[in-house]
Amino acid sequence: MSALLEVRELGVGAGGQPLVEDVDFAIGRKERVGLIGESGSGKSLTASAIMGLLPEGLAASGSATLAGTELIGAGERTLSRLRGRELAMVFQEPMTALNPAMRVGRQVAEVMLLHNTSQNRRSAHAAAVELLDRVRLPDPGRAARAYPHQLSGGQRQRVVLAIALANDPALLVCDEPTTALDVTVQAQILELILEGTRDRDTSLLFITHDLAVVASVCDRVLVMYQGRIVEAGDTKQVLSAPEHDYTRRLLAASTLEVSK
């Protein structure tokens, strides 16, 4: 399988203090990879480094290439061209990704206009309503006219997913996208993520602490502990016969049952 994303010796540090070290992995085209670990293990920092979205005061080192384009150290012009077009992200809290003062339909349309994947505002708006329908928002035309605060948390996450998928990205990064949702809505969002990536041949990096989610979504899994990848492999194999003590502890603390 040809690699779409290649990460080599990725590190993230703050004032000389390493937070993420020597992270190596690759994601093939159309492949779905899970990144799991407890809170503070470095999962979100790894994703933020790849996206070029690290908080001020943190710096990334090493290499992360997307279809041959280096992301680490790339200028904002390069990253802005890639983000939303080739590389998209769904965050845990949708309000961090949505403009509270802009109607959601316009926000979906704007990402297509920004990357010239729609010819004009009229066609972009029509495409936005269609996308809202595809993520199964009830009455998508009405939803397009709503402001984020007028939608539920699950509906807002559907809007964020519609924005992320609007330009058929090569790679979708999901950072704990269902953690704040109830179980029923969580299952619906996971189904939409799977459906959306499968329909577009989009690769997926799915970050979570929930082993059951990884088991249901991902082909391969990476286990992160104290800023390093400590185990990696086929999802079923890793979760049914873990080799690293930390992975065993994660499984012991989980209610997940994996058939061997």
pLDDT digits (tens, 9 = 90+) for 5-51: 999 999 999 988 999 999 999 999 999 999 999 999 999 999 999 99
Q: What is the pLDDT of residue 255?
A: 65
Give the percent of the chain with pLDDT over 70.
97
For residue 10, which of 63, 79, 73 has the smallest C-alpha distance? 63
Could you give phi then psi for residue 239, rounded to 5 degrees? -80, -20
For residue 83, which of 115, 36, 47, 124 has the smallest C-alpha distance? 115
Residues in contact with 86: Cβ distance below 8 Å, sequence separation at least 6, in sequence order:
66, 67, 169, 170, 171
> Residue 102's pLDDT band (boundaries 50, 70, 90)?
very high
Mean pLDDT of all residues in 73-99 = 91
Q: What is the pLDDT of residue 90?
A: 94
Q: What is the pLDDT of residue 220?
A: 97
- Comparing 70-74, 91-95, 153-157, 243-247, the range with the smallest average pLDDT is 91-95
Structural tokens at position 141: 């035309």
Residues in the chain: 260
Q: State the pTM of this model.
A: 0.93
Residue type, 47: A
Q: What is the CATH number of domain 3-95+171-252?
A: 3.40.50.300
> Residue 259's pLDDT band (boundaries 50, 70, 90)?
very low
> Residue 260's pLDDT band (boundaries 50, 70, 90)?
very low
CA distance 38 to 187: 21
Per-residue pLDDT of 197-237, as tens digits, reads 999 999 999 999 889 899 999 999 999 999 999 999 999 99
Asked whether 175 and 47 are in contact (CB, 8 A), the reply is yes
Mean pLDDT score across all residues of the chain: 93
Give the percent of the chain with pLDDT over 90.
82
